[in-house]
Amino acid sequence: MEKVVKLKPVVKSYIWGGQYFQKFGKGDQDVISELWELSLRDNNSSIIASGKFSGKPLNEVITKEDVGPVQARFPYFPLLIKLIDAKRDLSVQVHPSDDYALKNEKSFGKSEMWHIIDADEGAGLYVGLKENSSKEEIERRLKDGTILEALNFVHVKPGDTYIINPGTIHAIGAGVRLIEIQQNSDLTYRLYDYNRLDKDGNPRELHIEKALKVIDYSKYNFKNNEGSVLADNQYFKVRRESFDGELEIKADGESFISFTIIEGNGTVDGEKAQQFDTFFLPYGAKCTLKGKGVVVLSEV
């Protein structure tokens, strides 16, 4: 690819999703839980929605050159970017590190970040432990149903950012909409799910034995990045930029750039760009975003 392209997401419907993104034309399903805006996962690839490759899955078109020199660090495409609408609480879960996952799951682990787009009054997130704990205490709390009492519950507002490192127990609460930037892994250990049943009337699967092996039992330390930089680690670099007029975007580091408009609208190199549209800018290319709003830009 030589130019920026708009992406059409993969739509996921789970029992906890809602109707927030339908009003922005992101799908016509009754329930939308996740929109995989940038995805190259097997059978779950984003679709190119502009340019000469329009209609083709991104994973059939993209090359190592499009990803950039950073590709040499990864045996797979490194990022997965989602828009999430939690109408109901998500399960309490934890992700393993690369070291554990490679040894035990033949997969990479999962680091992720959440940037809040919208939230109902009083809505929030469960993020990490309030105090230092132990495997024995967490196992007991899972059995007696008091696990939420051990977790930080933080009320959120648009613009807040939280980094979820491997080992951090976490859950997105009801009434929160966010953009999630993560390692390209879907490896999740579910600890607690409020005794809910799936669509077939069965209890949802839990992975307690595995989860207890990977939990970080230390007190969670909150850290907020300053300014426009939302995250900067070995897996992803994310920044938030406001635009009013023109914003030139250049993929001139070592990576492609994917960007999602989270407020406002405009055009990208003449292509109509609406709120919650996501674009892929190949390595070495540049484009111009015109209009007014806020954009979240992700690279590796």
pLDDT in tens, 193-231: 998 887 788 888 999 999 999 999 999 998 766 679 999
Percent composition of the chain: helix, strand, coil (DSSP 3-state, to 5): 15, 40, 45
Q: Do domains 5-226 and 237-299 have the same CATH topology?
A: yes
111 CB burial (10 A radius; 0-12, 13-18, 19+)? buried
Instruction: Assess if CATH 2.60.120.10 describes domain 5-226.
Output: yes
148 CB burial (10 A radius; 0-12, 13-18, 19+)? middle
What phi-psi label fits residue 201: left (phi over 0), alpha (psi between -120 and 50 degrees) or beta? Answer: left
Q: What is the mean pLDDT of residues 269-296?
A: 98
Sorted by where each begins, the domain ranges of the chain are 5-226, 237-299
pLDDT for 19 equals 97
For residue range 111-146, what is the model confidence (pLDDT) as tens digits? Answer: 999 999 999 999 999 999 999 999 999 999 999 999
pLDDT for 204 equals 85
Asked if 211 and 170 touch (Cβ cutoff 8 Å), the reply is: no
Residue 80 scores a pLDDT above 90: yes
The residue from 177, 190, 239, 240 that is catalytic is 190
Nearest to 56 by CA among 66, 46, 67, 48: 48
Asked if 127 and 154 touch (Cβ cutoff 8 Å), the reply is: yes
Residue 92 pLDDT grade (very low, low, confident, very high; cuts 50, 70, 90): very high
Task: Tell me the C-alpha distance between 167 and 187, whole Å.
Answer: 12
Nearest to 279 by CA among 256, 259, 299, 293: 259
CATH of domain 237-299: 2.60.120.10
Nearest to 117 by CA among 159, 169, 172, 171: 159
pTM attached to this predicted model: 0.95
Nearest to 182 by CA among 108, 252, 92: 108
Amino acid at the residue 115: H
Residue 255 scores a pLDDT above 70: yes
Is 190 part of the annotated catalytic residue set?
yes
